[in-house]
Amino acid sequence: MSKIHPAENKCRPCLALKAVQEDHQGPTVLTVWKRSSMSFQGTDGFTVFDPHGRLVFRVDNYSRKNGYVAGNGLVLMDGVGNALLTLKPKAFSLQSQWNAFKEEGCGKNPKMTKVFSMRNPSVLHHCGKDVAEIFMGTQGHRHQTPDFRIQGSFKARNCKILTPDGNLAAKIHRKRVNTTILLSDDVFSLVVEPGFEPQLIMAFVIILDRISSAPYTPVLCSLG
């Protein structure tokens, strides 16, 4: 299974998240707030916190008008703004395909390496058991089995990210303050199972948000 690791210039938020993973043998539980860390009116994005309330990931952009900023894509950053992955929609895709890239090398012309592609499994965007599929690496995905599948409804904050053999990699669910108080769907929990990189899973969530926001995407799909 492909892994993605933080850049060599490790920052405090990255180290904080690593410490949380090392201290607990169980899943990594993150709180995702569907809001940009910038305070400008009309901005959009995500801020992601660890169990101690420390900012570990963020996505900032100025508009959802074209789904990305000035053709450069959405950038998943760590808590202090270091770029981790760039997410770009594929032009003229009937399956709402997005590709993820990481920057390698230094200088004026760093190399952008494809990490994964993610798409709606149906050209017609019908509500099926799988609402998204992910193919890792640089190869095409014709006739390939997806490396990850996403089932459920992102709009309902009820999703599972599964490996090809059906094992749980991560899940999304509504966040509760206690047994009686349920927070709005702008704040939800992302639970990442041991052995899977949280930043990779968070990249899936960002693209899933874009796919689910398309007007032709079903509002609710059953987990079955």
Residue 170 CB neighbour total at 10 angstroms: 24
Report yes or no on 67 lying in a domain.
Answer: yes
Report yes or no on 224 lying in a domain.
Answer: no
Predicted confidence (pLDDT) per residue in 125-175, tens digit = 445 577 899 999 876 665 578 999 999 999 899 999 999 999 999 999 998
Per-residue model confidence (pLDDT) at position 11: 45
Distance separating alpha carbons of residues 138 and 99, to the nearest angstrom: 10
Predicted confidence (pLDDT) per residue in 54-110, tens digit = 999 999 875 555 444 445 589 999 999 999 999 999 876 666 889 999 988 666 777
Report yes or no on 29 lying in a domain.
Answer: yes
Distance separating alpha carbons of residues 78 and 48, to the nearest angstrom: 9
Report yes or no on 24 lying in a domain.
Answer: yes
Model pTM?
0.78
Which of helix, strand or coil describes residue 198? Answer: helix
Q: How many angstroms separate the Cα of 170 from the Cα of each of 1, 36, 110? A: 14, 23, 31
Per-residue model confidence (pLDDT) at position 136: 94
Report yes or no on 2 lying in a domain.
Answer: no
Report yes or no on 60 lying in a domain.
Answer: yes
Residue 66 belongs to domain spanning: 12-213
Distance separating alpha carbons of residues 69 and 63, to the nearest angstrom: 7
Distance separating alpha carbons of residues 127 and 217, to the nearest angstrom: 8
Q: How many angstroms separate the Cα of 80 from the Cα of each of 54, 55, 56, 109? A: 11, 8, 8, 23
Report yes or no on 40 lying in a domain.
Answer: yes
Distance separating alpha carbons of residues 78 and 90, to the nearest angstrom: 24
- Of 186, 207, 190, 36, the residue nearest 116 (C-alpha): 207
Report yes or no on 56 lying in a domain.
Answer: yes
Q: How far is C-alpha 119 from the chain's CA centre?
A: 13
pLDDT greater at residue 121 or residue 196: 196
Domain CATH number, residue 67: 2.40.160.200
Q: How many angstroms separate the Cα of 84 from the Cα of each of 109, 112, 213? A: 17, 12, 23
Distance separating alpha carbons of residues 213 and 216, to the nearest angstrom: 8
Number of domains in the chain: 1
| DSSP state for residue 76 in the 8-state scheme | E
